[in-house]
Structure 1
């Protein structure tokens, strides 16, 4: 996808996204869109950083006065932590950093914007009282770590589905050892179940795909609607394609859905404010979404 705006002049403030691979990242499009709307002289780029190059990358950027920080994607979200001067308490609790910011004193601080970005489209629901809150999360990688910590803080009981339930158990025990959470094999979701859910009035149920299943080039997430409790919100983090088979299944069964761009844009907005000192212009989200899907 070509970016809609040309890079700004050299020696202007800039941020970037790092990872391996990184060429597919939509973050430059999002941040450049906001920079243009706000008239900020700056840029946002992507930089391919392999695992063995991370320490050198951080050392070089420390000496660049124009560098405002970077977003961090796989496989660096944990490896970058010991290279920083300070870790925000939320990121420390999650055990992963996805945003590095040069602070006013020149030190480097690590944040996790995945957690607030994930929660953003759920804030109205979370303001309401509930008799019970449960989240079924598919996947146990880096994105799932942020979700588990964020949802546990909001009183959710969590059930993690994965190919390796033991890995999910270790993640739950690490992030919320006092919680009454559960794990289950991923393949149990594919076949119909005759489990009789109650009507769930007064409850908040989430079903979240935090895995690459359904992403372009990967097999779909196989989940039968009978595993989704009544009145659930079905939340997808995959952005390509925008409408995955999981979302289609949920919509056809009458469930409320949230697509992957909600978290992508939400977490980017938190990072943008830290990089460039102004809130992202969220009134233009519809236009931004159109660019992301063009």
Structure 2
């Protein structure tokens, strides 16, 4: 289908009889294979909640089709896109302008199609993580220990460092943690085997690795937490399962915990505001609807 045919199809779909308030605002999430996303639940739920004339779609794009697909959606009048694995680095290279958070993260998860034809790229993972801590009543820490050195770790570490936190990094491949520290201009790197020894001085432990995700290898979290201070807050950005083995082990020791669902919700808010013109609230009902989809 050509772009002209696609435009005609959209015009035929969004007629004035069906949409007297005008053509809906359109946004979408793209990735590949995109079998595992809850973004449409969030965004369409907010559109319904606020009476916004808009839709948020799920549009898988293969890597070789990514740039062409983004350009086509922009030409069709979409307001923007969320970008997930494996397209975040490709999106970073594609956009015309980067937000500060995107430059710090080295990746883009939110595209905004501007009126002048430019594409702005942002990364909302880091601020989404900090907002999830605030929602849970956690004061931003002075000292954090972050496990992992992938894309999520970079966004989280950048946000923590920019908020004035001293960050200690541990990754199973130490060289990756060292590269991350160098890219961010901050963060003290330690050997993976030594991170439990640093818990006594940490106020926050953040797991950004896949350890604990459904189907991943078992790890002795309980044994690793024996030297944790009683005031330590333990967070995991994994949300399937919602209660990861790390969080279960922390709760068994009486430690405060923050699950990964809050980050998922909060990272979606800036994009929704940019596309649909309203800053959405995070409510218990929204969280409950998402939890139902995790079972």
Q: Give the TM-score normalised by the residue count of structure 1.
A: 0.84
Q: How many residue pairs get matched?
A: 270
Residue 225 of structure 2 corresponds to 225
Residue 79 of structure 1 corresponds to 90
Structure 2: distance between partners of 1:60 and 1:221: 44
Q: Contact (CA 8 Å) 2:146, 2:207: kept in 1 or not?
A: yes
| Alignment RMSD | 2.3
Shift of 1:147: 0.8
SS in 2 for 1:101: strand
Residue 208 of structure 1 corresponds to 206
SS in 2 for 1:80: helix
The equivalences for 1:176-215 within 5 A come to: 176=185, 179=186, 181-185=188-192, 187-188=193-194, 197=200, 205-215=203-213
Structure 2: distance between partners of 1:159 and 1:229: 16
Structure 1: distance between partners of 2:267 and 2:117: 23
Residue 101 of structure 2 corresponds to 90
Alignment CA distance shift 1:209-1:83 (3 Å): same
Structure 2: distance between partners of 1:196 and 1:280: 36
Q: Do structure 1's residue 148 and structure 2's residue 157 form an aligned pair?
A: yes
SS in 2 for 1:21: coil
SS in 1 for 2:127: helix
Shift of 1:258: 0.5
Shift of 1:106: 3.3
Shift of 1:227: 4.5
SS in 2 for 1:14: strand
Alignment CA distance shift 1:227-1:167 (3 Å): farther
Q: Contact (CA 8 Å) 2:199, 2:228: kept in 1 or not?
A: no
Alignment CA distance shift 1:170-1:219 (3 Å): same
Alignment CA distance shift 1:53-1:126 (3 Å): same
Shift of 1:83: 1.4
Q: Do structure 1's residue 50 and structure 2's residue 62 form an aligned pair?
A: yes
Alignment CA distance shift 1:228-1:292 (3 Å): farther
Q: Do structure 1's residue 250 and structure 2's residue 250 form an aligned pair?
A: yes
Structure 2: distance between partners of 1:73 and 1:122: 22
Residue 241 of structure 2 corresponds to 241
Q: Contact (CA 8 Å) 1:117, 1:266: kept in 2 or not?
A: yes
Alpha-carbon deviations, 1:187-244, whole Å to 9, x = none? Answer: 455xx76x793xx6xxx61111111211112124433212533311111111111111
SS in 1 for 2:133: helix
